[in-house]
Amino acid sequence: MSIGGWRWSLAFLVGVSLGGWAQESPEAQARSLHGGDEIRLVIPFGRGGATDVLFRQIAGPVSERLGRRIVLENVSGAAATRGAQRVREAAPDGRTLLGSHQTLILSFLSGISAHEFQDFVPVALLMRTINIPTTHSQHLVQSAAGFAEHVKSQATQKGARSVRIGMIKGSTDHFFWLQFLKAVGVEPAAVQMVGYPDTVSQVAALLGHEIDFSMLNLPSAGEMYEKGMLRPLGVAADQRLVGLPEVPTLEEQGIAVINTTNRGLFAPLGTPREQLEPVVSALAVTLGDDALAERLEHEFGTRVDMRLFEDYAAYLSNRTQALKSLADELGFSR
CATH code for the domain of 311: 3.40.190.150
pLDDT tens digit string along 49-105? Answer: 889 999 999 999 999 999 999 999 999 877 678 899 999 999 999 999 999 988 888
pTM for this prediction: 0.83
My answer on whether 182 and 243 are in the same domain is yes
My answer on whether 148 and 136 are in the same domain is yes
| 198 vs 173: CA distance, rounded Å | 10
pLDDT tens digit string along 316-332? Answer: 999 888 888 877 876 76
Helix (H) or strand (E) holding 203: helix 199-207
Last residue of a domain, one of 253, 275, 304: 253
Last residue of a domain, one of 220, 253, 286: 253
Q: Give the CATH number, domain containing residue 189.
A: 3.40.190.10
My answer on whether 126 and 139 are in the same domain is no
Dihedral sign, Cα of residue 231, residue 237, residue 238, residue 243: negative
My answer on whether 161 and 139 are in the same domain is yes
User: 112 lies in which domain range?
Assistant: 3-130+260-330
> Would you call 132 exposed, middle or buried from its count of C-beta atoms within 10 A (0-12, 13-18, 19+)?
buried
Low-confidence residues in the chain, pLDDT < 70: 1-36, 79, 330, 332-334
Sheet holding 230-232, edge to edge: 214-216, 132-136, 230-232
My answer on whether 84 and 109 are in the same domain is yes
Task: Provide DSSP, 275-324.
Answer: HHHHHHHHHHHHHT-HHHHHHHHHHH-EEEEEEEHHHHHHHHHHHHHHHH
Question: DSSP class of residue 102?
Answer: T
My answer on whether 126 and 156 are in the same domain is no
Question: DSSP class of residue 23?
Answer: G
